[in-house]
């Protein structure tokens, strides 16, 4: 029985970049890691809090990207404010935080960045380092595996059948120009007594080729029957 290595960790240094980019003395490396973790937690908590606050009014999908409106309530709910990753670069006197987000409607509001910066400054409490927050909108959101995973999670929580949710997710990736995609859900599918894993694959997925750029996400979903795990691999390009 073979195990699969994590495609991101396997490609670090070649086609996969680190999400934190800084240098430190070995004595201070641990403090840098703790600081990174605080920054990321603060940003995610801020978005979580404001997502709950903003869910009362209607969330409109980004107009530059067409969302398939098969079911309006589900689609518009699932495409709100998913962070793909947070990039942190540190210099001697500045910390640059770049939030790569799929649909940045929330953070584009007036005063949101300043409020977030204030929260972060309070959290990090470093006197001689400035914070610099930038937002980068992801060019093709449905090419990102954790946006797809959030989409599937939203569908499964609303009792859509899992096979339909998987096929819909793969359909969304067809609009973007990718070479292969694989979606795997494991757990008590459709509330069955015995757990199993289901997998749909389209296109190529060269997991052993280091120069192939593969994006990967592993995402647990809590349902009333237990925890389902979703794994999504996306083969973006070959250098």
Partner 1 sequence: MAKKSLIQRERKRQKLEQKYHLIRRSSKKKIRSKVYPLSLSEKTKMREKLQSLPRNSAPTRLHRRCFLTGRPRANYRDFGLSGHILREMVYACLLPGATRSSW
**DSSP count for the chain of H helices, then E strands:** 6, 8
Q: Residue 12 burial (CB < 10 Å; 0-12/13-18/19+)?
A: exposed
The reply on whether position 65 binds partner 1 by CB under 8 A is no
**Cβ of residue 23: shortest distance to partner 1, in angstroms?**
7
Site map for partner 1, 6-35, x if CB under 8 A? x-xxx-xx--xxxxxxxx--x--xx-xxx-
Minimum separation from the CB atom of position 168 to partner 1 (A): 27
State the Cα–Cα distance between residues 143 and 148, nearest whole angstrom. Answer: 8
> Which residues, 139 to 158, sit near partner 1 by CB under 8 A?
none
- Shortest distance, CB of residue 17 to partner 1, whole angstroms? 7
CB 155 within 8 A of CB 194: no
| 89 vs 105, beta carbon nearer partner 1 | 89
User: Does 186 contact partner 1 by CB under 8 A?
Assistant: no
Cβ closer to partner 1: 33 or 199?
33
C-alpha distance from residue 73 to each of 29, 77, 89, 102, 210 (Å): 45, 6, 38, 19, 40
Cβ(20)–Cβ(36) below 8 Å: yes
Point out which residues bind partner 1 (CB under 8 A).
5-6, 8-10, 12-13, 16-23, 26, 29-30, 32-34, 36-37, 85, 210
């Amino acid at each position: 029985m073979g195990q699969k290595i994590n495609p991101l960790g396997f490609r670090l240094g070649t086609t996969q970049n680190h999400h934190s980019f800084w240098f430190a003395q070995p004595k201070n490396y641990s403090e840098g890691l703790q600081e990174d973790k605080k920054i990321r937690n603060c940003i995610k908590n801020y978005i979580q809090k404001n997502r709950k606050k903003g869910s009362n009014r209607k969330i409109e999908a980004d107009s530059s990207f067409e969302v398939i409106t098969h079911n309006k309530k589900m689609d518009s709910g699932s495409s709100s404010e998913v962070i793909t990753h947070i990039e942190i670069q540190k210099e001697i006197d500045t910390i640059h935080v770049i939030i790569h987000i799929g649909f940045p409607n929330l953070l584009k509001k007036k005063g949101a960045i300043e409020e977030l910066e204030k929260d972060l400054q309070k959290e990090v409490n470093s006197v001689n380092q400035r914070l610099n927050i930038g937002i980068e909108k992801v060019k093709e959101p449905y090419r990102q595996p954790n946006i797809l995973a959030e989409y599937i999670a939203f569908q499964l929580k609303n009792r859509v059948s899992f096979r339909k949710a998987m096929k819909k997710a793969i359909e969304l990736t067809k609009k973007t120009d990718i070479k292969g995609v694989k979606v795997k859900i494991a757990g008590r599918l459709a509330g069955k007594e015995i757990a199993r894993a289901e997998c749909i694959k389209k296109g190529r997925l060269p997991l052993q080729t280091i120069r192939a750029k593969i994006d990967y996400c592993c995402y647990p979903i809590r349902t009333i029957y237990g925890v389902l795990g979703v794994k999504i691999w996306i083969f973006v390009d070959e250098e």
